[in-house]
Structure 1
Amino acid sequence: MKRRHLLASAALGLGLAFGGAANAQMDSVKACFVYVGTIGDGGWTQAHHASVTKAQEHFGDKVQFQWQESVPEGADSERVLTQMALGGCNIIFTTSFGYMDPTNAVAAKFPNVKFEHATGFKREHPNVGIYNARFYEGRAIEGLIAGRMTKSNKIGYIASFPIPEVIMGINSYFHNAKKVNPDVELSVVWAFTWLDPAKEADAAKALLDQGVDVIAAHTDSTAPLAEIAKSGGNAIGFGQASDMEDYKPTPRVTSIIDDWSPYYIRQIQAVMDGTWVSEDTWDGIKDGTVGIGEFTGLPDEVKAEAEGMRDAIAAGTYHPFTGPINKQDGSAWLAEGQTAPDGDLLGMGFYVEGITGDIPK
């Protein structure tokens, strides 16, 4: 499985203890990127590459950029990383969860090269950093919209793999839908893929056939939106990773847009300045890493409510996981007014109360 974050609080504490050694300033840097998909996939990889393009524009000829598309996770990625390190890359960004072990393995062999892994949890060497985004914040806004817009009270979620990032997204989506619509029911279809348009389309069709009329997808292609559009009904959905603007104004009514460019610029500059250190970074809406796309095809009152939640999350006055919230089995998780600790979210392996079905093992 690719990318995504499994970090529990204990692991986070351990990881934050690592710090990079002092580095020399550099007049020029070669920054390299490993992509799991194509730069035109319409979702995850396209968003990363758009961020790289912004970084290129920022640095001009001071930084040389290199990337490789469609690199399978596992042994192939270790070979590509080794070639990049031997080819003079000073910092290498690995943009998929499944690159985690290869990243650390190659980093051990090239201590003078900096490695940045997207959405992983292992930092076994002082030349490895981790970066991720608080996608669950965007899921809360989607959930609010789903709760307000559903006519059938049946909302759906296309899930990729049963890892904490995906589970917290499902929980955030449902919990915030339930807050505005106590009658809402959630159906989850597990696709067991990040990028397979045929499987994603089948998952969307299965949900539509169940009477679901709002679908969120934690996969990478535009196939779910295409399937919704093809159905000819009144169902709606959301862009994922990229804006997926071809489906505006509906069925795509907003989107979670990944913008990694501030992080890429900051970390590349740190290598140039000799100030790079091994860190674990988890940014969200307020940092600009999680962007919320234009709201389209929504009633004015729903749009205003969604904008209000977005702004409250950015201001730190609303947390998508604010108690009281129980776990699926009815046991208490968060008390009234309590917000979820990062460690709980990064190691999340349970559904919240009201979601039916089991999390696959």
Structure 2
Amino acid sequence: MTDLSKRSIVKMVALTAVAAAALVGCGKKEEAPKAEAPAAAKPEPLKIAFAYVGPVGDGGWTFAHDNGRKEIEKAFGDKVVTTFVEKVPESADAERVIRDMAAQGNKLIFGTTFGYMEPMLKVAADNKGVKFEHATGYKTAENMRTYDSRTYEGAYMAGVIAGKMTKTNTLGVVASIPIPEVVRNINSFTMGAQSVNPKIKTKVVWVNEWFNPPKETEAATSLINGGADVLMQNTDSSAVLQTAEKMGKRAFGWDSDMTAYGPKAHLGSAVINWGPYYVKAVGEALEGKWSTGSSWWGVKEGAIEMVNVAADVPEDTKKRIGEIQAGLKDGTFSIWKGPIVDQAGKEMLAKDAVADDKFLGGVMFYVKGVEGKIPGGK
């Protein structure tokens, strides 16, 4: 190798070293890769519990509430965890169950029958961090509110159908507990029937329980033997419809669609859809917007509907049911509009006056056409 070649190589090496040094001096160096930020922790799901007065398979009231619970799961997925306890009696045992629900970490608790009101108030006072929802009651607290459905709207529509379908002009109601809700439904059923058939009379048998199929069966049999050929109920099982089926009479489903329990007897089902309210309530809890108060939802809010009206019901009657539902939805029709008189003929609501919710909440009288007396009443 010549001296020139050696010098060229040495020069190239030197230039390379200078260039590298220049790069270092300018801060051109390789940076270490940044560590990724840790993923945000997933929020804990909202724990929700339901106390049911009957079994989930009652086909009526509790079944309807459980359908609403399932709507919550469908709407919110893994943001919620729901559980329930069925057949919780309206007694001191209710307080034990509800208190246990709070102790298990449930932050939203639904009590689904009138008799849970006082027990829930007690538990709510001791668990300020838990939200309580009580169905059909009227007492509230800072962390407890009430909700209800306007079941009298379904009863009235059932009455319209019954008034057209009866052959004896005698209707029967199997009633549960003598509270305004039930008395209001008996009256509304009678008023609906009288709107199409002024000759209607309504007989009532009280069983003093929400869910007791043998007692409900016995009461329905008694009514049929007493001349009633169309029955309605304000109890929670399908026993009344099944009894009508066996005895060749007609009846209605109540709270849920009961068509399958007595397809020949079934004239229609006055159903409650709790889903819309339950989804709203849970949404408010999740968003931190929940507050105390009272809600009473009906046809207008999608909570009450008459479904599966029997094929042999006259078309003009079916049309009338559609008109009533439309009127209740847009506010152009009122069921409790005067004049309304009691059994003795005393005016309870003046002509053209429309009952407000305060009036409706205190109905403890029978309208003209209902026979007998309210247990414990005058």
Taking structure 1 as the reference length, the TM-score comes to: 0.89
Unaligned runs of 5+ in 1: 1-25
**Partner amino acid, structure 1, of 2:180:** P
Q: Deviations over 1:116-149 (max 9, x none)?
A: 00111111x2000100011111111011111111
2:259 matched to which residue of 1? 245
Structure 2: distance between partners of 1:355 and 1:217: 14
Verify: 1:270 aligned to 2:284, yes or no. yes
2:181 matched to which residue of 1? 165
1:353 matched to which residue of 2? 368
Q: Deviations over 1:10-61 (max 9, x none)?
A: xxxxxxxxxxxxxxxx763111111111111111111100110111011000
| 8 A contact 2:259–2:308 mirrored in 1 | no
Structure 1 residue 250: Cα displacement: 3.0
Verify: 1:295 aligned to 2:309, yes or no. yes
Verify: 1:218 aligned to 2:265, yes or no. no
2:299 matched to which residue of 1? 285
| 8 A contact 2:343–2:366 mirrored in 1 | yes
Match of 1:180, SS state, is: coil
Structure 1 residue 248: Cα displacement: 5.9
Structure 1 residue 86: Cα displacement: 1.4
Structure 1: distance between partners of 2:195 and 2:110: 38
* Greater relative contact order (Cα < 8 A, sep 6+): 1
2:274 matched to which residue of 1? 260
Higher Cα Rg, which structure:
2
Verify: 1:143 aligned to 2:159, yes or no. yes
Structure 2: distance between partners of 1:194 and 1:122: 21
Q: Deviations over 1:325-345 (max 9, x none)?
A: 112222212222211121111
Match of 1:152, SS state, is: coil
Verify: 1:191 aligned to 2:207, yes or no. yes
2:52 matched to which residue of 1? 35
**Partner amino acid, structure 1, of 2:367:** V
Structure 1 residue 74: Cα displacement: 2.1
1:200 aligns with one of 213, 216, 227 = 216
Verify: 1:326 aligned to 2:341, yes or no. yes
Structure 1: distance between partners of 2:227 and 2:344: 26
Q: Deviations over 1:66-117 (max 9, x none)?
A: 1111112222221111111111111000111111111000000000100000
1:5 matched to which residue of 2? none
| 8 A contact 1:136–1:168 mirrored in 2 | yes
CA 1:250–1:301 in structure 2 vs 1: closer, same or farther (change >3 Å)?
A: farther
| 8 A contact 2:230–2:251 mirrored in 1 | yes
**Partner amino acid, structure 1, of 2:287:** D
| 8 A contact 2:245–2:262 mirrored in 1 | no
What is the RMSD of the two structures over their aligned residues, measured on CA atoms?
Answer: 1.3
Structure 1: distance between partners of 2:50 and 2:261: 29
Alignment identity in percent? 42
The farther-off stretch of 341-350 and 300-309 is 300-309
Verify: 1:92 aligned to 2:106, yes or no. no
CA 1:355–1:245 in structure 2 vs 1: closer, same or farther (change >3 Å)?
A: closer
The farther-off stretch of 332-341 and 235-244 is 332-341
Match of 1:216, SS state, is: strand
Structure 1 residue 264: Cα displacement: 1.0
Structure 2: distance between partners of 1:330 and 1:152: 24
Unaligned runs of 5+ in 2: 1-42
| 8 A contact 2:241–2:262 mirrored in 1 | no
**Partner amino acid, structure 2, of 1:178:** Q
Q: Deviations over 1:231-287 (max 9, x none)?
A: 1x2x21110111012046431111111111111111111111111000110010111
The farther-off stretch of 187-196 and 301-310 is 301-310
**Partner amino acid, structure 2, of 1:61:** D
| 8 A contact 1:158–1:189 mirrored in 2 | yes
The farther-off stretch of 69-78 and 197-206 is 69-78
| 8 A contact 1:156–1:212 mirrored in 2 | yes
Verify: 1:132 aligned to 2:176, yes or no. no
Structure 1 residue 352: Cα displacement: 1.4
2:64 matched to which residue of 1? 47
1:154 aligns with one of 170, 180, 197 = 170
Structure 1: distance between partners of 2:216 and 2:257: 17
Taking structure 2 as the reference length, the TM-score comes to: 0.85
Match of 1:336, SS state, is: coil
**Partner amino acid, structure 1, of 2:54:** G
1:305 matched to which residue of 2? 320
